[in-house]
Amino acid sequence: MSSNQHFICLIRGVNVGGNKLLKMDALRALCESIGVKGAKTYLQSGNVVFRSSLDRGVLARRIEDGIRKATGFEAKVILRTASEMREVIAANPFAAGPQRDPRAFLVAFLGGEIGKDAAALLSKLKIDSEELHFGDRELYLYLPDGIAGSKLSNALTEKKLGANVTARNWNTVKALLEMAEDGQRA
């Protein structure tokens, strides 16, 4: 990959419940130190947008290694390009039909394909009020009774799915794409 692409980096499990603390200014500095350009963070939950000409796998390894060296803990990284995030938003299975609370709508981003057994497990855990749709490398979840008590959201682990996974609410997904697109115009 020779040209700069806009990437959206989603880091799993940082700054949740006071665990695995990673300050966003430190994350921006770490990203800049590995050679990415224009790193901007969003919220305090491990979201960063930047430009890079590096390969996706190289980027993910460098960010994970940098976090490990700086903090001492393991963090998993999932990367999407701005165009891939546009596709995620365009594929929203909830776009038609009744209006849904965006805070209860999650997109789970996968680092690989979900296994057939994992898909069956998730379908079995879903209760009647919840909705679940499978994308190519994403899961779309609507959890109107809350995220914390949902067996479905609690099953979003690498161990259960067979792939690295991290989820963001719909408002965050849209905001991250907007940040990446603003960076493209700059």
Q: Backbone phi, then psi, for 180, in 5-degree steps?
A: -65, -40
Are residues 48 and 41 in contact, defined by beta-carbon separation less than 8 angstroms?
A: yes
Are residues 53 and 4 in contact, defined by beta-carbon separation less than 8 angstroms?
A: yes
Burial class (CB in 10 A: 0-12, 13-18, 19+), 34: middle
> 1 pLDDT band (50/70/90 cuts)?
very low
Residue 58 CA to residue 159 CA, distance in Å, equals 23
Question: What per-residue confidence (pLDDT) applies to 20?
Answer: 74
pLDDT in tens, 111-143: 998 888 999 999 999 999 999 999 989 999 999
Give the mean model confidence (pLDDT) for residues 74-89: 95
Question: What per-residue confidence (pLDDT) applies to 166?
Answer: 93
Q: How many other CB atoms are found less than 10 A from the CB of residue 120?
A: 10
Give the mean model confidence (pLDDT) for residues 61-74: 90
Question: What per-residue confidence (pLDDT) applies to 96?
Answer: 82
For CA atoms 31, 84, 42, 76, the dihedral sign is: negative
> 177 pLDDT band (50/70/90 cuts)?
very high
Are residues 104 and 80 in contact, defined by beta-carbon separation less than 8 angstroms?
A: no
pTM, two decimal places: 0.91
Integer CA distances (angstroms), 186 to 9, 38, 51, in order: 19, 10, 11
Q: Please report the domains of the chain, with CATH numbers, ordered by start residue.
A: 5-82 (3.30.70.1280), 93-170 (3.30.70)
Beta strands in 58-137 (DSSP E): 77-81, 105-110, 131-134
pLDDT in tens, 13-43: 775 556 677 888 888 899 989 989 999 999 8
Write the DSSP string, 12-77. Answer: TTTTBTTBS---HHHHHHHHHHTT-EEEEEETTTTEEEEEE-S-HHHHHHHHHHHHHHHHSS---E
Q: Which residue type sits at 116?
A: K
